[in-house]
């Protein structure tokens, strides 16, 4: 059974310590959090467009949610220890992929 570091043992105080503790205790917390934001935004924008236009645009929803998730990841990178460079670059690549697919369609 793995032993995790408790918040009392974590040597950081303030809001930055509270935000970075889940990323230190569970290394996949930040990528899962960003993926959840991406999927929620993707489904929200797709079904909103479907409701308004009668037809959803998955590629446009993918580009919009990738862009917003990339902005959130860049903001998260301002706090040291919250997000690693691999996660930031992956988020950036997904955002770029969405925009490229949007520009290349039809």
Q: Domain extents for the chain?
A: 27-104
pTM: 0.82
Quick one: CA dihedral 32, 34, 37, 41, positive or negative? negative
Question: What was the pLDDT predicted at 28?
Answer: 86
Question: What was the pLDDT predicted at 34?
Answer: 94
Quick one: CA dihedral 40, 74, 21, 15, positive or negative? negative
Question: What was the pLDDT predicted at 79?
Answer: 84
Inter-helix orientation angle 14-25/29-53, to 10°:
100
Helix then strand then coil, % of the chain, to nearest 5: 70, 0, 30
Residuewise pLDDT in 10s, the chain (106 residues): 556 666 555 666 666 666 777 777 778 889 999 999 999 999 999 999 999 998 889 999 999 999 999 999 999 899 888 888 999 999 999 999 999 999 998 6
């Amino acid at each position: 059974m793995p032993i995790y570091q408790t918040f009392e043992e974590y040597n950081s105080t303030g809001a930055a310590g509270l935000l970075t503790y889940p990323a230190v205790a569970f290394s996949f917390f930040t990528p899962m959090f960003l993926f959840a934001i991406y999927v929620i935004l993707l489904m929200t924008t797709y079904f909103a467009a479907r409701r308004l236009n009668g037809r959803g645009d998955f590629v446009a929803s993918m580009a919009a949610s990738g862009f917003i998730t990339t902005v959130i990841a860049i903001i998260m990178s301002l706090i040291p220890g919250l997000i690693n460079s691999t996660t930031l670059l992956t988020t950036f690549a997904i955002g770029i992929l969405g925009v490229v697919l949007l520009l290349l369609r039809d």
